[in-house]
Amino acid sequence: MIKTAHQRASGDTVAPRRDLQRLVGYQLRRVGSLVVKELSRILSVVGLAPGQFSILMLIDEHISCFQMDLARLANVDRSTLVPMIERLVRLKFIKRSQSDDDGRAFHLQVTPRGRKAIEQVMPDLRAFEETITDAMSAREKSALLQSLHRVEEALLRRQSTE
């Protein structure tokens, strides 16, 4: 009695997984992409994608920073930032102003409109946080966060020594 693919439910797979699920790297990638998918939905009400919003948040936290600062903070190449910054400027969520001290660089600042977008979306983001840490105790939650920070540091270390 053979089932079609669509007749198989989630827990009813073709064969058992072996060790894929036990790989932290695999699981991080998997969960990361699910998070992005959900964030896309939430952030679409202000017209931003997850990456763009995270840049907006970083600018908000680092008043009057340069793009090179952001590249380092977000762990991306400076060229990656260009279209994101462009998008945020076009939506008038941030303001660029040439630095007096350095003619090559631009100060980036969140505008009131950008602040409003952040505020508008925060309740949903907090609800999202609640969802993903649903069945966890406060202790578990902070352990998870700490582990994630450790993984991040290990990855950054590894990256810089190559």
Name residues contacting a second copy, limited to 7-26 (CB under 8 A): 8, 10, 13-18, 20-26
158 near DNA (CB under 7 A): no
76 near DNA (CB under 7 A): yes
68 near a second copy (CB under 8 A): yes
Nearest approach in angstroms of CB 121 to a second copy is 12
Kindly tell me which residue out of 21, 27, 33, 142 binds DNA, with binding defined by CB under 7 A. 33
Tokens of 123: 């309740």
Nearest approach in angstroms of CB 55 to a second copy is 11
152 near a second copy (CB under 8 A): yes
CA distance 31 to 24: 10
46 near DNA (CB under 7 A): no
Site for DNA in 86-105 (CB under 7 A): 101-105
SS3 content of the chain, % helix, strand, coil (to 5): 65, 5, 30
The 3-class secondary structure across 97-150, one letter per residue, is: EECCCCCCCEEEEECHHHHHHHHHHHHHHHHHHHHHCCCCCHHHHHHHHHHHHH
The residue among 35, 97, 33 whose CA lies nearest residue 65 is: 97
Nearest approach in angstroms of CB 109 to DNA is 12
